[in-house]
């Protein structure tokens, strides 16, 4: 579930109710709440941060400060597909930089950027936990997450084209 950045419709935050119940007032709970909110909405909008502040009683400036301090939090909207490109050690030594260059050539985006058509966002991430498949990327879309291992620059281009083609057939114009 996500909202358009231009949307004037207020976001339904009810999916976070159990998270507030479990983690409000708990030591380190704010980070967990931010993580869960990002999992649900894909990124942390100003509205989301304000809601978290009001529900937890933490000052908005502190919520914003924590969200901006940690690189894991996204403060800009993401595309329909979030490419999480592993830059952990195993993937790095197996050519993740060349994979990133291939993504950039194919989509015109670098780490943290979203393609002009709003379809793809690229995020470099730490180890995805499947180092034996290095280099690896995970792609999160509306249908869930897919992991692609043993990547080569050529294969990445094919995968991205296949995802884009699938998206055209699945998303009504």
CB of 43 to ligand FES, least distance (A): 23
Q: Where are the alpha helices (DSSP H) in the chain?
A: 17-23, 29-41, 46-56, 60-69, 89-93, 96-107, 153-170
Using CB under 6 A, which of 91, 107, 151, 160 touches ligand FES? 91
Instruction: Give the other-Cβ count within 10 Å of 68's Cβ.
Output: 12
Q: Where are the beta strands (DSSP E) in 22-132?
A: 81-86, 120-125
Does 131 engage in binding with ligand FES (CB under 6 A)? Answer: yes
Does residue 136 bind ligand FES (CB under 6 A)?
yes
Give the C-alpha separation, 107 to 115, whole Å: 6
Cα Rg of the chain (Å, integer): 17
Among 102, 128, 139, 156, binds ligand FES (CB under 6 A): 128
* Beta carbon nearer to ligand FES, 97 or 142: 97
Q: Which stretch binds ligand FES (CB under 6 A): 29-37, 60-68, 109-117, 127-135?
A: 127-135
Per CB under 6 A, 88 contacts ligand FES:
yes
Minimum distance, C-beta of residue 127 to ligand FES, in the bound complex (Å): 3
Contact between 15 and ligand FES (CB under 6 A)?
no
User: How far is the CA of 16 from the CAs of 41, 84, 143, in angstroms?
Assistant: 10, 24, 21
Among 33, 84, 134, 156, binds ligand FES (CB under 6 A): 134
Q: Report helix angle 96-107 to 153-170, nearest 10.
A: 40
Count interface residues toward ligand FES (CB under 6 A).
12
DSSP state of 152: -
Least spacing, CB of residue 15 vs ligand FES, in Å: 29
* Site of interaction with ligand FES (CB under 6 A): 86, 88-91, 127-131, 134, 136
């Amino acid at each position: 579930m996500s909202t358009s950045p231009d949307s004037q419709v207020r976001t339904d935050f009810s999916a976070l109710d159990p998270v507030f119940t479990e983690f409000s007032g708990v030591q380190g709970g704010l980070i967990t709440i931010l993580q869960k909110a990002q999992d649900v909405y894909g990124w942390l909008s100003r509205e989301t941060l304000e809601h978290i502040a009001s529900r937890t009683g933490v000052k908005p400036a502190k919520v914003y400060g924590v969200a901006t301090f940690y690189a894991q939090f996204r403060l800009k909207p993401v595309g329909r597909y979030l490419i999480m490109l592993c830059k952990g050690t195993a993937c790095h030594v197996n050519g993740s930089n060349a994979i990133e260059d291939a993504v950039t050539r194919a989509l015109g985006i670098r780490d943290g950027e979203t393609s002009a058509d709003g379809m793809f966002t690229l995020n470099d991430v730490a180890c995805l936990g499947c180092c034996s498949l290095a280099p690896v990327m995970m792609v999160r879309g509306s249908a869930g997450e897919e992991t692609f291992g043993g990547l080569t620059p050529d294969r990445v281009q094919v995968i991205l084209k296949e995802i884009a083609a699938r998206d055209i057939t699945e998303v009504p114009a």
